[in-house]
A and B are shown apart, each in its own frame.
Chain A
Amino acid sequence: MELKVIENATCTFCGCVCDDIELHADDMRIHQAKRACILGKSWFLNHTAEKKYPEALIDGQPASLDDAIQVAANYLYDADMPLVYGMSNTTCEAQKECVAMADLLGALLDSHTSL
């Protein structure tokens, strides 16, 4: 397994978004997060590339991604007042897709800011 070093990586655990982290990683996990704080270290070191969970769950049962996407789309479309919420631990690109989806649905749209 090859060890790679990523310079100036960005930590998205908290709102500070430090961008001077040095990550040492192999294919499976991150071994070192230099200059990260205690929260950042646990954030980087606790995520792995393992397949720990099924790709999707429908009613608690493992399901395929394609089925889950279809079922999710049906629930959202059938609802009179769907809610799109969260968007904090994700990328701006995904957030943009969420806004577009909420627009298509005529949904409520909200983030952690309202808390």
Chain B
Amino acid sequence: MQKSKFLPRGRKDRTVVMVDIRETKSAKAADHFLQVRPGKDFELLTIMRAMIKDQEISEAEVAATGVSMEVLRDLIDQMKKAKFGVMFFGMGLSMTRGKHMNAAALLTFAAEMNAFTKFVAMPMRGHGNVTGADVIMRWQTGYPFGISLNRGYPRYNPGEFSTVDVLVRGDTDCAFIIGADPGATMPKPAIDHLAKVPTIVLDPHVTHTSRLSRVHITTAPAGIAAPGTGYRMDEVPMPLKPALNSPYPSDEEVVRRIKEAIAEKPDWMTNQPQMIESQV
């Protein structure tokens, strides 16, 4: 692992604490492992938030999370002593009971830790340029994800406008999917709804989602045959250096052409207002 001015011994100067519901391979690579009871993430985070401020916690509340009071005290002690802490979190937090509220609890915890030492929170990214999507949406709309533009201005509400929820409730009546394969990863009710409505897919391969879609357009794979920019997980933009020339157009070109085809039609705001007049 990288050695630096402040961490001359590399990995030896760093401490990794793994929190999970089961002991995975990553747990073996970590210095400490905390096994939290499934569905108790929010409780554990809230207890830790209280403990950093020396507020009183009952033993029973701590025991319910599956982690002992001594272990937590020790962990908080180490966290406060750290020079720079990072909380990495993934889908285990945001896709279990509590969903985005778990992530919100962790973000608040990270913010509150800054009363003692420098701490940040960073989502672990599975795919290449998810961070870029966050950055671009923040730049263009002011919000990172879960946005609705159907009133003509951006509104943000994860849980209401986030894709899984929208699909499971059956709210959307047309889906445009780019650089993703929800047909292989999402819960079944969400996939069923995607198959029901007209779905448009842009992908370098014919994917599971392409098979249930009305329109599939093959595009050049980004970073391999299409140029552009990609964001690293810590929000550093990187230029992509394509090695091949694809026979297919880039995502950028196809989306721009679809956008231009839509722009030629009359504006929906004046022609198809999405409101029920009797309720206005």
Contact = CB atoms under 8 A, between A and B. Distances in A.
Are both chains from one complex?
A: yes
Contact of B250 (A80, A94, A103): A94
Interface string A7-38: 01111111111010001010111100000000
A86 B204 CA distance: 14
Interface string A72-112: 11011111111111111111111111111111111111111
A25 B174 CA distance: 39
B172 A114 contact: no
B85 to A, nearest CB: 19
B147 interface: yes
B241 interface: yes
A54 B265 CA distance: 28
A91 B241 CA distance: 12
Nearest to B210: A57
A85 B176 contact: yes
B68 interface: no
Interface residues of A, number: 82
B129 interface: yes
Interface in B240-277: 240-241, 243-252, 254-259, 261-263, 265, 268-269, 272, 274
A53 B149 CA distance: 34
Given A94-B250, A98-B178, A81 B173 contact: yes
B189 to A, nearest CB: 15
Contacts of B215: 56-58, 68, 71-72, 75
B217 interface: yes
A31 B138 CA distance: 38
Interface string B85-100: 0000001001100001
Contacts of B229: 91-93
Given A12-B128, A94-B228, A106 B269 contact: yes
Interface residues of B, number: 108
A44 B241 CA distance: 12
Given A72-B215, A85-B177, 13 more contacts: A19-B238, A65-B249, A72-B176, A76-B262, A77-B265, A79-B198, A83-B172, A87-B180, A88-B126, A90-B252, A91-B222, A95-B129, A101-B176
Interface of A: 4, 6, 8-17, 19, 23, 25, 27-30, 43-44, 47-51, 53-60, 65, 68-73, 75-115
27 contacts: A6-B241, A15-B130, A47-B204, A54-B218, A56-B216, A57-B215, A72-B215, A75-B200, A76-B174, A79-B172, A79-B197, A82-B175, A84-B178, A86-B177, A88-B126, A89-B129, A89-B222, A90-B129, A99-B136, A101-B255, A102-B147, A105-B149, A106-B151, A108-B150, A109-B145, A109-B148, A114-B145
Interface of B: 91, 94-95, 100, 123-137, 140-141, 144-152, 154, 158, 161-164, 166-167, 171-180, 182, 185, 197-198, 200, 202, 204-206, 210-211, 213-218, 221-233, 236-241, 243-252, 254-259, 261-263, 265, 268-269, 272, 274
